[in-house]
Amino acid sequence: MDLNAARMNTLSLILAGGRGSRLKQLTDHRSKPAVPIAGKYKIIDFPLSNCINSGMRKIAVLTQYRSHTLNQHVQRGWNFLRSDFNEFIELWPAQQQTGEEWYRGTADAVYQNLKMINELNSEYILILAGDHVYRQDYSVMLQEHIENGADVTVACIEVPIKEADQFGIMHVDEEDNIIAFEEKPSAPPTMPGKPEVSLASMGIYIFNTQFLRDKLRNDSADDDSSHDFGKDLIPLFVGNARIKAHHFSKSSIPNESYPDQPYWRDVGTLTAYWESNMDLTKLVPELDLYDESWPIRTTHYQRPAAKFNYNYEERIGTALNSVVSAGCIVSGSTVEQSILFNNVRVNSYSYVKKSVVLPRCDIGRHCQLTNVVVDSDTKIPAHTVIGEDPELDAKRFYRNSDGIVLVTQEMIDQLEE
């Protein structure tokens, strides 16, 4: 089977049902894949764009937790494929198809949709997480999977050994056969010939459909299983199936300025989320969103261009080393090393630094924000100072141990009561 035929015979399943509780109040009203990122996108846009750019055009997004904003985003911005060519991007909400329980884990989420999977009759299944930020050509991984005659291929990324206890770590031989798997090990195995790094699972898998179908049925009947790919199925496959590691460096879309640093981020914590956005304010970010050969798509709305008002001595509308999205108005204020998402207004005499301001926020006059993440639709009252007094910030808002402060409209409302 040639690669084009293989891509047409691949069903991509994006697991987008998780809450992402480590993002705190950012996921109170939305699932993690629906969290805005990089000025104009949502996290789900990255795996969706990777699928389209890779030629994968049968895509199902599996949703569960507070999925309204995610459903709306996908329906409005990702409905351009041709059903008459057997192409689609569909939303598969949790429907309790196999019983009365909701999704019990990542593997169970796929198992509960076996009926739809069987109807599509695809030869390969690509499993993706809906909450990671990266650019990858999945067709390269698919071709390697086929050439290896593998039952399952696991995408892996090299991580420093000192960070390996945060990941599921693969132990591979010199031919990239996975010979052991350890979940967040205290003494992680290293790569052959590279004692300073370990090989971490990215939560990206390619399965032969028949193989996966049989294993999911067995796992569903196992009362001792947590029904998770990383915790249960992948370790079970080791030694019992042909399971291969695929190096992310082979299929990542290179950034010419960082040729030896494949970009992949799990933005699952507030600090990781803030850092990922801050990277985009650099002169040359690690994540290249300006690469026209691998565009990241999203839902588009009609918005005016960003605008900067006033040019008086103490009232100059300016943005330095920042990303300012469409619909924003910076009125007599200074924005430095920050990201303003769509339709944000920063009013006169305010100073915003190293902050991430999500859509439709309004920052009042004489405010000062440093190291802040402002949730969507939040109105910051005039004269508010955040990021200068750690104790006061922790009393009023959510402040983590790295000094990043999260502010929501609910927190503002409580201050005014």
User: Rounded to an integer, what distance in angstroms lies between the CA atom of residue 189 and that of residue 191?
Assistant: 7
Other CB atoms within a 10 A radius of the CB of residue 311 amount to 10
Q: Is beta strand 243-247 parallel, antiparallel or unpaired with respect to 152-160?
A: parallel
Other CB atoms within a 10 A radius of the CB of residue 49 amount to 18
User: Rounded to an integer, what distance in angstroms lies between the CA atom of residue 118 and that of residue 217?
Assistant: 13
Other CB atoms within a 10 A radius of the CB of residue 371 amount to 19
Annotated binding residue 103: yes
Annotated binding residue 201: yes
Other CB atoms within a 10 A radius of the CB of residue 385 amount to 14
Beta strand extents in 176-285 (DSSP E only): 178-183, 197-208, 243-247, 264-266
Is-contact 48 91, C-beta < 8 A?
no
Is-contact 207 125, C-beta < 8 A?
yes
Annotated binding residue 174: no
User: Rounded to an integer, what distance in angstroms lies between the CA atom of residue 339 and that of residue 353?
Assistant: 9
- The DSSP annotation for 324-385 comes to E-TT-EEES-EEES-EE-TT-EE-TT-EEES-EE-TT-EE-TT-EEESEEE-TT-EEPTT-E
User: Rounded to an integer, what distance in angstroms lies between the CA atom of residue 232 and that of residue 230?
Assistant: 6
Residue ranges for the known binding site for alpha-D-glucose 1-phosphate are 103, 168, 183-184, 201
Residue ranges for the known binding site are 103, 168, 183-184, 201
